[in-house]
Chain A
């Protein structure tokens, strides 16, 4: 009995190809059953995300199974041209290694991202509910989830955000104990300030105030973020209730200076203040960052942290691979020991 996988991902295929081969989530169970009928497989599961489509199976003859799985992909999606150059295939140990790297985020577009684990869990649950899995795939997937959890908590592969918006959120979470009670003020309505405010909102930021010279745009952004628009000239008035400021105006000179901030901090009872300066030229005078309880980050700082975090994650890859190798050896040994029982079961 052999474990096999056929698939494509963000590295092997462009998005145009990936979207043609994607399986809609509600149809995953049914598609997995169809795969069992179309290819000589004893067990099957399909993973389909925006960055990858992969068919897993247990087969007596690996070559015939892989050919059947390739054919099924073409037939299911009614493709006229061949996508074979974009597909990769792995058997047994390589197949196990691949799945473990996928669930651990090592094979993801954003190295170490954790969303993939939930997506693979959903795919496995759909296959299981459709009755397409058996002892081999059950063990393979369950052990891969345990491995991913172990790797996540024992290495730094998931630590530190790698996008500017998420770095800002992560910093905010290490300044304030509860983002739900914090108020965010967005000054200026650029794409980056919108992305950062959305990231903060998605992590539960309580109130969002949007102020811009263009009132309509400010009101539109406030509507999108579930916040409230305020007049541009009123930002100092609202400042005493603000915890996080995202500033991205086109002003030629700093709009926040230590001289302006000093009395505002006093009015805020010196509560911590997180200033995110995305404006070019900068909106917030550097001197503000030297004030007590004020934490100032500009675009360069955030970009540099994102790059450093990515580099740190890359340094963890070798450790993760060593942990994966141990798990692969154990799973391969189990498959070897259970060859007879699996053959008997599917005879």
Chain B
């Protein structure tokens, strides 16, 4: 079996977790057993996902972050990693239910789209490059989860503002808690992004100039999250504004990364 097979298996687990989410929403109440099955499916998917990435790394003899396929796979992996840390720590109900479909979408796009093309390996290989890329992608995982939490916030706020909340109101955490978690993920994500940027600047000296589209992308993403961080830290943007910001910024990050990668060819 190749590493892609393992990644397809991981996709199957995430798909099962997503199907279970739909079932839970349809039934409209927090079925205890279904919640545990949901978490178990995501954990199983994460383990197989990790194995797939590990084998890919062994095969390449370096960190598997050489093309768009690997980057997306890594973002999905770090998103699940953050979910597995945040979910139990904050006892956030239904976070897994919202995370599974996002992970499924990212992994499925990576596996189906023709983006798994062998990249040219730079002559000057540097540990700084791998460090910069890995930290940047882990940051994207935290920011992806902030996007998921933002989605949950908007759904819960809509329930509360509608004056006719459905049973989804009872399933989702309080808006206040979602706002705080979203901000903490933004802080972690932005800090990692900053470290990644510094790594990128150092590796620039070692491997030479980065392609300009990626440099522009990285600076734009960092500035965007910097503005979001500043706005939230000064209490100007909290609640709905912060949630919309987290979603828009992450969608921009992914879309712009695709664009930058194509332009860098």
Contacts and interface: CB of A to CB of B under 8 A. Distances in A.
Contacts of B159: 174
B230 interface: no
Contacts of B173: 174, 177
A292 interface: yes
Given A174-B172, A295-B160, A156 B167 contact: yes
A271 B30 CA distance: 28
B8 to A, nearest CB: 33
Q: B31, B165, B167, B173: which has the most chain A beta carbons within 10 Å?
A: B165
A308 B170 contact: no
Q: Is the interface on chain B under 10, 10 to 19, 20 to 34, or 35 or more residues?
A: 20 to 34
Interface string A162-185: 000000001101111100000000
A339 interface: no
B239 A177 contact: no
Interface in B167-209: 167, 169-170, 172-177, 179-180
Given A156-B28, A171-B160, A312-B167, A177 B177 contact: yes
A293 B161 contact: no
A196 to B, nearest CB: 17
A295 B161 CA distance: 6
Interface string B220-249: 000000000000000110111100000000
Contact of A304 (B160, B164, B179, B241): B164
A154 B241 contact: no
Contact of B239 (A155, A292, A297): A292
Contact of A293 (B28, B33, B240): B240
Contacts of A202: none
A124 B238 CA distance: 51
A271 B235 CA distance: 9
Contacts of B172: 174
B88 interface: no
B156 interface: yes
A159 B170 contact: yes
A68 to B, nearest CB: 42
B163 interface: yes
A301 interface: yes
B210 interface: no
Contact of A177 (B30, B163, B165, B180): B180
Closest 7 CB pairs of A and B: A177-B177, A269-B235, A153-B32, A156-B29, A293-B239, A301-B163, A177-B174
Contacts of B165: 171, 174, 305
A174 B238 contact: no
A293 B239 CA distance: 6
20 contacts: A153-B33, A155-B29, A160-B167, A170-B170, A171-B165, A174-B156, A174-B173, A174-B175, A175-B160, A175-B176, A176-B174, A176-B176, A177-B174, A177-B176, A293-B240, A304-B163, A304-B164, A305-B163, A305-B165, A312-B167
B174 A175 contact: yes
Interface in B148-167: 156, 159-161, 163-165, 167
Interface string B24-36: 0000111111000
A262 B61 CA distance: 59
